[in-house]
Chains A and B, each alone.
Chain A
Amino acid sequence: MTEASATDTEPSRALTRDTDAAMLGGVCAGIAARLGVSPLGVRILAVILALGAGIGVPLYLAGWLWMPPSSGGPSLAARIRGRPGAWQAAAGLGMLTLAALLTARKLGLWWNDAISWPLVIAVFGGALLWRQTAGRPAEPPPSPQRPRDPVTAEQPAPSARRDVLEKVRAYYQGGFGIALVAGATVLFLQANGALTGARDIVLSVVAVAVGLGLVLAPFWVRMARRLAAERAERVRSQERAEMAAHLHDSVLQTLALMQKRADDPRAVATLARRQERELRAWLSGAPAARPDERLADALRAAAEEVEEGFGVPVEAVIVGDRELDDRCRALVAAAREALVNAAKHAPGEPISLYAEATDGRVEAFVRDRGPGFDPDAVPPDRRGVRESIVGRMARHGGRAEVRSAPGAGTEVELVLEDPR
């Protein structure tokens, strides 16, 4: 399992808390692992910093908060932010700060009583604001509605309402947080005597601002709510219009075509399969295929081309992927040729294309269930297999093998091995 361990050590390049080797939170162990030194040394340094200068404790706590754990997942700070209950978290942080201050005071690590309350209030307000702005974890981008399940298709209405409510609450929290931080700043300045002159002015400004805020808040909230609701409605109708447009351009067109050509079952099957593929690609929201760059996409494109050209279903199963270089292009071309042969000689029978790209090796198999043939009995003037499959692979340092017997179908095997 060497590959596994290699990928496992990869993420520890970033600074993480080593939760496996943790004494407390794993901060020291994580730093040691990052620097490549012994955890013991880092721990001793941390203790010295904590006891000697006092700075060690907050540093350690900050590390605990912001360093993500080595076992994966977000940091503690991100988790706190991501969870609902801004008020509780903020209150908790405020209390923790108060507790820390009181402890520090008791221990004699203290300079001025006047700082304590402003600090606690500022932390409380700051925490509220912080959760507010960086707050909600990134929601998944609005993906095109998957209409596969009628139950979930009805979801957006209630969730939009919840969104609006959440936004309103967010404004309240934000405003309150700002007020707390501002108040704490004023308190701090006043406690330090810096405000004696400006106090009256500041007080009156604050009083007016608070008064105005109280008066305007209901209007503000109502407007915000209406705006949000309107926006949600607009997004919804836009999505619906987009989906309708897409279905119209694709599915309805195909259905109309199929009705017209109802007398030709092969054409109908081809149309249905092409539409199915398109719709699947659209529903899955997968990134656009890049048949010019990726081997798997190129093989799939070749399979689709043959499927459409000959009206034969091609089941393409592809494991792994790699960049499309010249040799891979040759393999794709040979596979395409093999698919064409299969479609020609085994009309109507499904064809299997299987390809596997692993480290140092690409293999592709094209198999049909047609009548098969005796490979030795092929006249030499039939160049298809010899030139465009076997010859092509050989020119690019690969090999091709054709296995067939009358009545047992045909399989073409293409192999490319990377030069060592």
Chain B
Amino acid sequence: MTESAPPTVVIVDDHALLRAGVRAELEGKARVVGEAGDVDEAVAAVVEHRPDVVLLDVHLPGGGGVEVLRRLEEVAPETRCLALSVSDDPQDVIAVIRAGARGYVTKTISPDELADAIHRVRDGDAVFSPRLAGFVLDAFAGRGGAQPGAPEDPELDQLTAREREVLQHIARGYLYKEIALRLGISVKTVEAHVSSVLRKLQLSSRHELTRWAAQRRLVD
């Protein structure tokens, strides 16, 4: 964890109770500068406060987290978003990641882990929950290559053995520093692998990913 100034955070969730809960959990670990309950409020709050990290719910009135990400891309493209949701529907998860979120954690995450994830996202790294790692491994598993007609890019459509290993450890419940210890690499290298997986997740044209994305009307 970085020992610099606490990151500023905007919490976007349509349940006031949950916002209050997260705010209390982050007490002393991050500075909550704003809250929003729907897409319009979220965009306005981000533009006003310019937070380090936006904690973004997937389901929101007015188009959901995906719509927030799309609009922030236009008005505040440097914003880093971390999806925080009760949903563990792979479609929701993959859609919000493909729309630009830097990570995905479920609302049952412990306060310390959440603070850790916020720091990580602030520092430009990706945050994968065990479940998200499982989805990604599933989506990049053997069957189904690139979308026909899409430019074939084997580099984007497959995970390297090392990336796969890192994801498997995340899915097995290991923390980054434990993974680093086990694989004999530095935490920075683990972070680099996860960021590279995130990039592939966002840019790959694999069947499974595009299908999920298409179902959420992310691609035409």
Chain A residues engaging chain B, CB cutoff 8 angstroms: 1, 3-5, 7-8, 71-72, 148-151, 280, 284, 313, 315, 317-320, 350-352, 354, 356, 358-359, 365, 367, 369, 411
Closest 3 pairs (CB-CB, A-B): A352-B173, A4-B145, A317-B134
Can you name 14 A-B residue pairings with CB atoms under 8 Å? A1-B145, A4-B144, A4-B146, A149-B64, A313-B108, A315-B173, A317-B171, A319-B137, A352-B173, A354-B130, A354-B171, A354-B173, A358-B142, A367-B174
The answer to whether B138 and A284 have CB atoms under 8 Å apart is no
A356 contact set on B, CB distance < 8 A: 137, 168
SS class of chain B's interface: helix, strand, loop or mixed? Answer: loop
Contact between B130 and A315 (Cβ–Cβ < 8 Å)? yes
Tell me if B154 is interfacial: C-beta within 8 Å of chain A.
yes
Across the interface, B168 reaches (CB within 8 A) one of A72, A148, A354, namely A354
B27 within 8 A of A: no
Q: Verify if B23 is at the interface (C-beta below 8 Å from A).
A: no
- CA–CA, A41 to B59, complex, Å? 57
CA distance A351 to B154 in the complex (A): 35
- A149 and B142 within 8 A (CB): no
Complex formed: what's the CA distance from A72 to B211 in Å? 13
Task: State which of B87, B89, B143, B171 has its C-beta within 8 Å of the C-beta of A7.
Answer: B143
Least Cβ–Cβ distance between B155 and chain A, in angstroms: 12
Contact A317 B130 (CB under 8 A): yes
Within 8 Å of chain A (Cβ to Cβ): is B192? no
Contacting pair A352 B143 (CB below 8 A): no
A71 vs B173: C-alpha distance when bound (angstroms)? 41
Interface pair A320/B172, CB less than 8 Å apart: no
Q: What separation, in Å, do the CA atoms of A169 and B62 have in the docked complex?
A: 33
A320 and B141 form a contact (CB under 8 A): yes
User: A197 CB to closest chain B CB, in angstroms?
Assistant: 61
Secondary structure at chain A's binding surface: helix, strand, loop or mixed? mixed
Q: Which residue of B lies closest to A411 (CB)?
A: B172
CA distance A3 to B171 in the complex (A): 25
Q: Is B120 an interface residue (CB 8 A)?
A: no
The residues of A that contact B143 with a CB separation of less than 8 Å are 3-4, 7
Q: Inside 8 A of A358's CB, which chain B residues have their CB?
A: 141-142
Of all chain B residues, the one with the shortest Cβ separation from A352 is: B173
* A365 CB contacts on chain B under 8 angstroms: 172
Most A CB contacts (10 A, CB to CB) among B89, B134, B144, B154 go to: B134
Question: Using a CB-CB cutoff of 8 Å, which residues 150-207 of chain B contact chain A?
Answer: 154, 168, 171-174
Shortest Cβ distance from residue A171 to the other chain B in the assembled complex, whole angstroms: 33
Report whether A317 and B131 are in contact in the complex, using a CB–CB cutoff of 8 Å: yes
State in angstroms the CA–CA spacing of A358 and B168 once bound together: 13
* 84-130 of chain B: CB within 8 A of chain A: 87-89, 108, 130
Residues of chain A lying within 8 A (CB to CB) of residue B62: 151
Q: Beyond the given A149-B59, A151-B62, A319-B141, please list 13 additional residue pairs across the A-B interface where CB-CB is below 8 A.
A: A1-B145, A3-B142, A3-B143, A5-B145, A7-B143, A8-B148, A148-B59, A150-B61, A151-B61, A317-B131, A352-B130, A354-B130, A367-B173
B89 touches A354 (CB 8 A): no
A369 to B174, CA, bound (A): 10
Per-residue interface assignment for chain B, residues 59 to 99, with 1 indicating a CB less than 8 Å from any chain A CB and 0 otherwise: 10110100000000000000000000001110000000000
B209 interface hit (Cβ, 8 Å): no
Residues of B within 8 A of A319 (CB): 134, 137-138, 141, 171
Chain B residues, CB < 8 A from A5: 145
Complex CA distance for A354 and B134, rounded to whole angstroms = 8
Q: Which residues of A contact B64 (CB under 8 A)?
A: 149
* B residues in contact with A284, CB < 8 Å: 89
Give CA–CA (A356, B135) in the complex, Å. 11
Q: A71-B149, A365-B172 are in contact. Are A320 and B130 (CB under 8 A)?
A: no
Complex CA–CA separation, A93 to B61 (angstroms): 44
B61 to chain A: closest residue by CB: A151
Closest chain A CB from B5 CB (angstroms):
30
Q: Tell me if B134 and A352 are in contact (CB < 8 A).
A: no
State in angstroms the CA–CA spacing of A150 and B61 once bound together: 7
> Which residues from chain B contact A351 at a C-beta distance below 8 Å?
173
CA–CA, A369 and B172, complex, Å: 12
B171 CB contacts on chain A under 8 angstroms: 317, 319, 352, 354
Q: Which residues of A contact B145 (CB under 8 A)?
A: 1, 3-5, 7-8
B172 touches A352 (CB 8 A): yes
> When the two chains form their complex, are residues A318 and B130 in contact, meaning their CB atoms are under 8 A apart?
no
- Chain A contacts for B134, CB-based, 8 A: 317-319, 354
B133 within 8 A of A: yes
- Within 8 Å CB of A280, what residues of B? 88
Tell me the smallest distance from the CB of B220 to a CB of chain A, in Å: 14
Q: When chains A and B are docked, how far (Å) is the Cα of A184 from the Cα of B148?
A: 46
Please, which residues of chain A bring their CB within 8 A of the CB of B142?
3, 358-359
- Which residues in A have their C-beta under 8 angstroms from that of B137? 319, 356
**CA separation between A365 and B137, bound complex, in Å?**
15
Chain B residues near A369: list those with CB within 8 A: 173
Assembly CA distance A242 to B134 (angstroms): 34
- The residue on A at minimum CB distance from B137 is A319
Count chain B CB atoms within 10 A of each CB in A149, A320, A350, A354 and give the residue with the most.
Answer: A354
- Residues of chain A contacted by B172 (CB below 8 angstroms): 352, 354, 365, 367, 411
Are A71 and B154 interface neighbours, CB within 8 A? no
The residue on A at minimum CB distance from B89 is A284
Q: What's the nearest-Cβ distance from chain B to residue A26, in Å?
A: 14
Which residue of B has the minimal Cβ distance to A315? B130
Instruction: Give the chain A neighbours of B154 by CB distance below 8 A.
Output: 1
For B87, list chain A residues within 8 Å (CB): 148
Q: How far is the CB of A28 from chain B (nearest CB, A)?
A: 21
B144 engages A7 (CB within 8 Å): yes
Q: Which residues from chain B contact A72 at a C-beta distance below 8 Å?
A: 148
